[in-house]
Amino acid sequence: MARKAFVTGSAGFIGYHLCQRLLAEGWQVLGLDGMSDYYDVALKQRRHAMLSQHPGFRAVEGLLETPGLLHGLMDEFRPDVVVHLAAQAGVRYSIDAPRSYVEANLIGTFELLEAARAFPPEHMLLASTSSVFGANEAMPYAETHKADHQMSFYAATKKATEAMAHSYAHLYALPVTMFRFFTVYGPWGRPDMALFKFTKAILNGEAIDVYNHGDMRRDFTYIDDLVEGILRLIAAVPGADPVGAADSLSPVAPWRVVNIGNGAPVQLMDFVAAIEAATGREAQKNMLPMQPGDVPATWADATLIEALTGPLPRTEIGEGVRRFVAWYRDYYQV
């Protein structure tokens, strides 16, 4: 019998790619997405439509925070594994619309934890973010580093979901893995992310906004590499025995947090140069100061995930950007 996965945020960028891989490997997948208008809903609908062509996929539209919705889906589907990717994303938008982060990230995650308490899966995997490291300047970021000084409300809600999940793991023996993602990019990516915005502007002959005057570094993680990490971590269920000194396994619960990143930060101007090379056009640049809530650099320590899963693929930034630009030109016919 096929194993069953419940994926929230299945019409999102990461959720879509993860569902594709799960289906290709023979899983039955129940996908939930709220289809919020934070960015182009047509892009989300297209992703769900493509997934729905597979007989093993079932799509449900609904908001995480709807009382009883997740409880009912968990009762009906009884998944072996839950991968919780749905969230209100975006550092900058959390300054303008903080309530949406409370509703989706805090209340929505609470509803999922309550549903899992009633119908426990073998493993719950929940998305967090590298933004939780906040003001911590010790890099590369390790899971065992302090992450107490978040610099955006988005990051604060994600750190809160880590703590919420830990309490449920302790109280109800729910095996939980938290992911901290590092600047994920690739085909079908989010329009609010730098790669999408820069590519669109460059192809339209418009200027791009370069923050902190270009003095930024990001640990760009290609989507296929990230999904491979998630798939391998499904089998790495937190238990009683840590895998080494770097493990973030809780001393009181089957809970750990794991970085998924490329482990090699890229200068922002090198990233822009890769887009220029892929598009064949030079960017006009508006050099601007740092935006509120942002951080100048991210860099993942990949020691723990490689101890749990073995070495992961690392797509080179120029190749990953070329694949995105090729997708963008095809999708938007430019």
Whole-angstrom distance, CA of residue 280 vs CA of residue 262: 26
Residue 183 near residue 189, CB atoms below 8 Å: no
Check if the beta carbon of residue 106 is closer than 8 Å to that of residue 161: yes
CA 281, CA 134: separation in Å to the nearest integer?
34
Exposed e or buried b per residue across 109-137, where buried means at least 16 C-beta atoms within 10 angstroms of its C-beta: bbbbbbbbeebbbebbbbbbbbbbbbebe
DSSP 146: -
Among residues 93, 154, 168, 222, which one is catalytic? 154
DSSP state of 141: B
Asked whether 60 and 32 are in contact (CB, 8 A), the reply is: yes
Based on the residue annotation, tell me whether 154 is a catalytic residue of this protein: yes
Nearest alpha carbon to residue 278 among 323, 316, 220:
323
Active-site positions read 154
